[in-house]
Every structure is written in structure tokens, then in C-alpha cells.
Amino acid sequence: MTTVMTSLDDTIAAVATPWGEGGIGVVRVSGPEAVRVGERVFHSPSGVRLAEMTTHTCHVGMIQLCGEPVDQVVATVMREPRSYTGQDTVEFSGHGGMVPLRRILEACLQAGARLAEPGEFTLRAFVNGKMDLAQAEAVADVIRAKTDQALTAALHQLEGHLSEAIRRLRQDLLELLAHLEVGLDHSDEDHPFLDREALLHRCTEVQHALERLLGTTRTGRLYREGLKVAIVGKPNVGKSSLMNVLLREERAIVTPIPGTTRDVLEEGLNLRGIPLVILDTAGMRAHSQDPIEQLGMERTRRVLEQTEAVLFVLDTSVPLTEEDRRVAELLNGKPTIVVLNKADLPACWPPQALDALMQRSPSPPPSPTRGEGKTSRPPPSPPTGGRGKGEGGRRSIPAVRISTIRREGIDQLEEALWHSVMGGTIAPHDGVLVTNVRHQDALRRAQDALQRASTAASQEAFEECVALELRNALDALGEIIGATTTEDFLQAIFSTFCIGK
Ligand SMILES: Nc1nc2c(ncn2[C@@H]2O[C@H](COP(=O)(O)OP(=O)(O)OP(=O)(O)O)[C@@H](O)[C@H]2O)c(=O)[nH]1
Ligand SMILES: [Mg+2]
């Protein structure tokens, strides 16, 4: 982190609302000189000076730059410590256009403010003790939430529920350490020392609490980060049509000409509160000579590497071909749902053909749950994708029969996708939810350190060894709330924020 960013001595300014056109746009100024900077640029018709304004009041006035009017604004003054950053803050709400906002900002910079770094207002809030690190991270999550559930989870973290859970666990560890240290310091005097049984018991309790928190990470991360789902298949099977039906809008071009989609199309979708990113891909051809199509297919291969789940589209109205097999082989064990499209047309191949096709896929997908018998099967009788028995524990891949043209089977497909994504279960999210991979990593390290502490204690190792591991666990937990941090670490976190937050 640059020293500029950690310094609280200067006054920073930035446009806090998105660039574009809107009813209002806000320029935020914060720091010890915020009121003075504001006073230099703000002129109220009533003659009220910004420095005289009572805290948490607003006044209408004009921003001037080099004596020229720039925009009419409402100025709000929030004096320290009762502001977002904990420092004096002035916010100018101007007209939400790029030019007026740029000029208001320019006026503030000329009046002595410095342009804020990304996330610098929130960094100041953290440094000034307005919020801890997990709460500061939640601010970015609230802004980026794509679904109601993601927002609920982020707000929960912003309110400090995760931080509270972490603090309690740290408190438990601190007490254990205190016991150990008393024991260590007075080891010659036979000081009453927390016996190993009790120590082990309390370590295990903390470990269980960590396990419970870690158990929420899958759900938590799904809410926060969402999931990438690729639609793949050979040309003309209806991948783009499926994308459009799922999005309920004509996003992708659909034509009867094979090879219509050349690039990867990406679009967000809310699946029962889980943000999904759906990727429509170019049809995979076994031997395409067209260089553009080859590039498209190369991209599809890369997309498959990055996505967590796959919708593998087959056209049931035409025979299966080598191209379908090639795609099946690329799936490489990804959680997959086979989408049997064009169910409105007569079926051209028997269900067993699907079994044969999917058997060539290198490894089985992890247990997607079939939707309580709701998953459709292709005609005339269900293809099971059913390689569950007698095949070395291979599990069946769900297959859903749809017609994008008639919009049939889409609910069932969404149901299957939901089960595939959530593994059929979803942790209740009214409790503490770990949504962030950084927190997950710290919890794991704390867990490992406690495991080593328990092992050391049970092997009657020196108390110093146990204490060392307890301290490691404490530090790892401290990273979550920012009790133990480094400058680089803060830089890495806050640089992902937007400017003005
Ligand atoms: N009968 C019928 N035709 C369909 C259905 N879904 C798609 N089609 C038609 O199939 C053709 C190809 O559809 P697309 O969605 O462009 O197929 P694609 O897999 O994206 O094709 P590429 O981008 O070329 O790989 C179009 O003419 C669609 O109208 C369906 O459910 N039933
Ligand atoms: Mg297409």
C-alpha cells in the first residue's frame, strides 16, 4: 500500500455515484480539510458559509470553479466522528451528468483535496474504527449483490454478525492462551494449570464452531459470487435458443444456419436467489476448417475450464454424431445436465444412445440431485443417463427434455439446475454465512492450527508448542476482522473497491 493511501492527514475527494446520466450525482470530500475545501468552492445564495453549517444539515448553493458557476448543488456537512469515514465529510449532490460532476470534482481538487484511491473512504472508515475489515468487505458486497439473497447475506455481514462470531471465538482462544501462559510462567511453582483434558475439550469446541462456519461457505460463496454455467453442444442444437429462453429475452442470435454463434455470450440470471452467469458458446465442430469457428471452439474449451456447471445440449430430432461425442468427452467430469432439445419434433434416437454417449465422458459428475421425478426423459422411454449401477459407482447425469420453441420443460430444467448447483440442499442463510474466499482461507488456517494445538496437547508436548499454535489460530481469525493485518493486505482488499466508496 502506498503511504498516500494509509495517510489520514490529507483530504480526499471523488465522485461517489456511477459515471453516466442520473437525477443526482454526488461528489464526496473527506478528511481534516474537508470543510475548508468545501467552503472554497460552495457559495450559498443566503450567504451561509459552509464552515458555519451545523453538522448533518444541508444547504443549497452553487459550486464555483475559478469564479465561474459549475453546478447548483445541495451540500451536506457531516463532522467527525459522525460520518462514514469518521472524519469531516462534505457531500455535494449535484446534477447527475458527467460534465457537472467532473467539474465539481475538479473544483474540489483545485481547492486542496486529493483524488481518492479506490475504496479509500471505506479504508478510512476501517482505520478510524467505524467498521472492521469483514464489515468493510461487506460494503463492496452490498454494492455488487446481484440477488435479494446476496444482498441479505452482505447486509448481515455489514451489521457485524460474522465479526461477532469471530470475536467470540478469538475471546475463547485468548482465555485458553491466558491459562496456558499462567501455567508456563509459573511452571516451577506448580501453579494451577488448565489440565490437558480441559484444554483439549475447549479446543475441540472452538474447532466445532469453525467447522460450522466453514460448512456455510459453499452456500455463502454461491450467493456472493454466483456460478458460471456454460451452454455447450454441437452447432444448431439450440444453445442460443436455450440462452434466450432462460433469460426470457432475445439476447443471442438464433438462425437455422449451423455456426451462428461465433463468440462467447455472457449474461447474468437470477436462479432462485443464486446469481448465475450463463455463457452461450460457439457450436463445437469435430473438424472445422473455418478459422473464426476454430477460434470460437477454442474459446468454448477455455470456457469449460472456468465454469462450474454445464448444460450439454443435444438435438433429439437428428442422429447423434461424432461431434456430440467430442463435446461429451470435453465435459471432463463437470456437473452436467443433459438438455434434450427439440422435443417438439419426432425423436431420432433411442434413450440407450444417451447412455452410450455419456459413458465416453471421462469421469462422472458429482451427484446432481434429480428433481423429485420432475426431470423429463426423452422419448420413447427414459434414458437414465442411468449409469448408476454396475459401473463402478458412476452416478447418473440428469437429462431434461425441452423444447425452446414451445418453451416446454424449462421449469424442469431450472429445477435440475438448481439441484445441480445447490447439491439439493441449501444452508439456511438467516445465520452467519461465510461468503468470502479470504475468510474461508483464514478459517481453514485457524482450524489447522487448532488441530496442531490439540495434537500437541494430547501428546503432552511443551506448553509453548500448544501456545504457539493457539496464537496462530488467533492471528488467522484476526485477519478476518482486520485485527491482524499488513499494509499490502489492506491494499489488496481495498483496491478492488470502486472509486468514491
Ligand atoms: N423445432 C425446434 N427447433 C428449435 C428448437 N430450438 C432451437 N430450434 C431451432 O434450431 C436452430 C438453431 O438454433 P440456435 O439456438 O441458433 O442453435 P445453436 O446451438 O445456438 O447454434 P450455433 O450457434 O450455430 O451453434 C434454429 O433454427 C432454431 O429455431 C426447438 O426446441 N424445436
Ligand atoms: Mg448459437
423: pLDDT confidence band, cut at 50, 70 and 90? low
Among protein residues, the one whose CA lies closest to atom 32 of ligand 1: 342
Ligand 1 center to 423 CA (angstroms): 30
State the closest ligand 1 atom to the C-alpha of 253, by its place in the atom list counted from 1.
16
State the closest ligand 1 atom to the C-alpha of 345, by its place in the atom list counted from 1.
1
359 lines ligand 1 (CB under 6 A): no
Q: Is residue 291 part of a domain?
A: no
Question: In this predicted structure, what is the pLDDT of residue 390?
Answer: 34
Q: Which residue has the higher pLDDT, 25 or 365?
A: 25
Dist. CA 421–CA 417, nearest whole Å = 6
The DSSP secondary structure of 158-217, one letter per residue, reads: HTTHHHHHHHHHHHHHHHHHHHHHHHHHTGGGT-----HHHHHHHHHHHHHHHHHHHTTH
Written as one letter, the residue type at 40 is R
Q: Is residue 501 part of a domain?
A: no
Residues 249 and 166 in one domain: no
State the closest ligand 1 atom to the C-alpha of 282, by its place in the atom list counted from 1.
25
State the closest ligand 1 atom to the C-alpha of 404, by its place in the atom list counted from 1.
31
130: pLDDT confidence band, cut at 50, 70 and 90? very high
Predicted confidence (pLDDT) per residue in 445-475, tens digit: 999 999 999 999 888 777 888 999 999 999 9
- Average pLDDT of the chain? 86
Q: Is residue 293 part of a domain?
A: no
345 lines ligand 1 (CB under 6 A): yes
Among protein residues, the one whose CA lies closest to atom 7 of ligand 1: 238
Residues 402 and 477 in one domain: no
Q: Is residue 267 part of a domain?
A: no
pLDDT beyond 60 at 389: no
Predicted confidence (pLDDT) per residue in 247-266, tens digit: 999 999 999 998 899 888 99
Question: In this predicted structure, what is the pLDDT of residue 463?
Answer: 82
361: pLDDT confidence band, cut at 50, 70 and 90? low
Mean pLDDT, range 396-412, rounded to an integer: 93
Among protein residues, the one whose CA lies closest to atom 14 of ligand 1: 238
Mean pLDDT, range 392-404, rounded to an integer: 77
Rounded (10°) CA dihedral 282, 288, 289, 292? 10
**Which among 236, 250, 285 is the best mutation to test ligand 1's pocket, defined by most ligand atoms within 8 Å of the CB?**
236
Dist. CA 332–CA 358, nearest whole Å = 11
Q: Which of 77, 40, 41, 71 is nearest to 59 (CA)?
A: 77
Exposure string (b/e) for 90-123, b if CB count within 10 Å is 16 or more? bbbbbbbeeebbebbbbbbbebbbbebbbbbbbb
Question: In this predicted structure, what is the pLDDT of residue 363?
Answer: 44
Residues 94 and 66 in one domain: yes
Residues 319 and 335 in one domain: yes
Mean pLDDT, range 292-305, rounded to an integer: 78
238 lines ligand 1 (CB under 6 A): yes
Ligand nearest to the CA of 312: 1
Ligand nearest to the CA of 259: 1
Dist. CA 498–CA 79, nearest whole Å = 24
Question: In this predicted structure, what is the pLDDT of residue 292?
Answer: 74
What percentage of residues in the chain have a pLDDT greater than 70?
86
Mean pLDDT, range 358-382, rounded to an integer: 42
Distances (CA, A) of 358 to 4, 36, 180, 292, 319: 57, 70, 58, 28, 15
CATH number, domain at 238? 3.40.50.300
State the closest ligand 1 atom to the C-alpha of 237, by its place in the atom list counted from 1.
19
Among protein residues, the one whose CA lies closest to atom 3 of ligand 1: 342
Dist. CA 445–CA 246, nearest whole Å = 40
What percentage of residues in the chain have a pLDDT greater than 90?
56
Predicted confidence (pLDDT) per residue in 182-207, tens digit: 765 555 454 455 678 888 899 999 99
Residues 313 and 441 in one domain: no
Exposure string (b/e) for 225-247, b if CB count within 10 Å is 16 or more? bbbbbbbbbbbbbbbbbbbbbbb
Q: What grid cell was written down for 422?
A: 445447490
pLDDT beyond 60 at 137: yes
Written as one letter, the residue type at 178 is A
Q: Which residue has the higher pLDDT, 220 or 92?
A: 92
385: pLDDT confidence band, cut at 50, 70 and 90? very low
Residues near 410 by Cβ (< 8 Å), separated by ≥ 6? 245, 246, 402, 404
pLDDT beyond 70 at 380: no
Distances (CA, A) of 465 to 196, 233, 479: 13, 56, 21
Considering its fold, how many domains does the chain have in total? 3
Question: In this predicted structure, what is the pLDDT of residue 271?
Answer: 86
pLDDT beyond 60 at 403: yes
Query: Whole domain around residue 366: which residue ranges?
Result: 233-260+302-422
168: pLDDT confidence band, cut at 50, 70 and 90? very high
Dist. CA 35–CA 363, nearest whole Å = 64
Ligand 2 center to 300 CA (angstroms): 12
Question: In this predicted structure, what is the pLDDT of residue 458?
Answer: 86
Q: Is residue 339 part of a domain?
A: yes
CATH number, domain at 85? 3.30.1360.120
CATH number, domain at 466? 1.20.120.430
Query: Reduced to 3 states, what is the DSSP secondary structure of residue 366?
Result: coil
492 lines ligand 1 (CB under 6 A): no
Residues 373 and 249 in one domain: yes
Question: In this predicted structure, what is the pLDDT of residue 462?
Answer: 78
Ligand 2 center to 298 CA (angstroms): 15
241 lines ligand 1 (CB under 6 A): yes
Ligand 2 center to 202 CA (angstroms): 58
Question: In this predicted structure, what is the pLDDT of residue 279?
Answer: 95
Largest CA distance in the chain: 89
Domain end position, chosen among 422, 440, 456? 422
Residues near 211 by Cβ (< 8 Å), separated by ≥ 6? 447
Q: What grid cell was written down for 431?
A: 445465520
pLDDT beyond 70 at 368: no
**Which among 241, 297, 300, 348 is the best mutation to test ligand 1's pocket, defined by most ligand atoms within 8 Å of the CB?**
241
Q: Is residue 376 part of a domain?
A: yes
Mean pLDDT, range 11-32, rounded to an integer: 95
Half-sphere exposure of 445 (CA within 13 A, CB side): 16
State the closest ligand 1 atom to the C-alpha of 261, by its place in the atom list counted from 1.
23
Question: In this predicted structure, what is the pLDDT of residue 393?
Answer: 41
Residues 251 and 374 in one domain: yes
Q: CA-based angle 496:143:490, to the nearest 5?
A: 30
318 lines ligand 1 (CB under 6 A): no
344 lines ligand 1 (CB under 6 A): yes
Exposure string (b/e) for 443-464, b if CB count within 10 Å is 16 or more? bebbbebbbbbbebbeeeeebe
Half-sphere exposure of 99 (CA within 13 A, CB side): 3
Ligand 1 center to 175 CA (angstroms): 65
Among protein residues, the one whose CA lies closest to atom 27 of ligand 1: 256
Angle (deg, nearest 10), helices 133-144 and 487-494: 20
State the closest ligand 1 atom to the C-alpha of 313, by its place in the atom list counted from 1.
19
Dist. CA 313–CA 238, nearest whole Å = 7
Q: Is residue 287 part of a domain?
A: no
pLDDT beyond 80 at 64: yes
Residues 343 and 453 in one domain: no
Mean pLDDT, range 54-64, rounded to an integer: 96
- The helix or strand, by DSSP H or E, that contains position 244, with its residue range, turns out to be helix 239-247
Question: In this predicted structure, what is the pLDDT of residue 180?
Answer: 83
Residues 34 and 113 in one domain: yes
258 lines ligand 1 (CB under 6 A): yes
404 lines ligand 1 (CB under 6 A): yes
Q: Is residue 347 part of a domain?
A: yes
Residues 376 and 253 in one domain: yes
342 lines ligand 1 (CB under 6 A): yes
Question: In this predicted structure, what is the pLDDT of residue 185?
Answer: 52
Dist. CA 473–CA 457, nearest whole Å = 15
Residues 126 and 62 in one domain: yes
Question: In this predicted structure, what is the pLDDT of residue 305?
Answer: 87
Q: Mean pLDDT check: name the lowest of 33-42, 301-310, 340-349.
A: 301-310
Angle (deg, nearest 10), helices 410-422 and 217-225: 130
pTM of the model: 0.76
State the closest ligand 1 atom to the C-alpha of 341, by its place in the atom list counted from 1.
31
State the closest ligand 1 atom to the C-alpha of 234, by its place in the atom list counted from 1.
25
Domain end position, chosen among 393, 422, 451? 422
Domain end position, chosen among 422, 446, 470? 422
The pairing of strands 114-115 and 12-15 is parallel
Residues 361 and 242 in one domain: yes
Question: In this predicted structure, what is the pLDDT of residue 12?
Answer: 97
Handedness of CA 326, 339, 263, 279 (dihedral sign): negative
pLDDT beyond 50 at 367: no
Ligand nearest to the CA of 311: 1
Q: Mean pLDDT check: name the lowest of 144-153, 191-200, 374-383.
A: 374-383
Question: In this predicted structure, what is the pLDDT of residue 154?
Answer: 93
376: pLDDT confidence band, cut at 50, 70 and 90? very low
Predicted confidence (pLDDT) per residue in 277-296, tens digit: 999 998 888 676 777 767 76
Q: CA-based angle 143:149:152, to the nearest 5?
A: 65
pLDDT beyond 60 at 39: yes
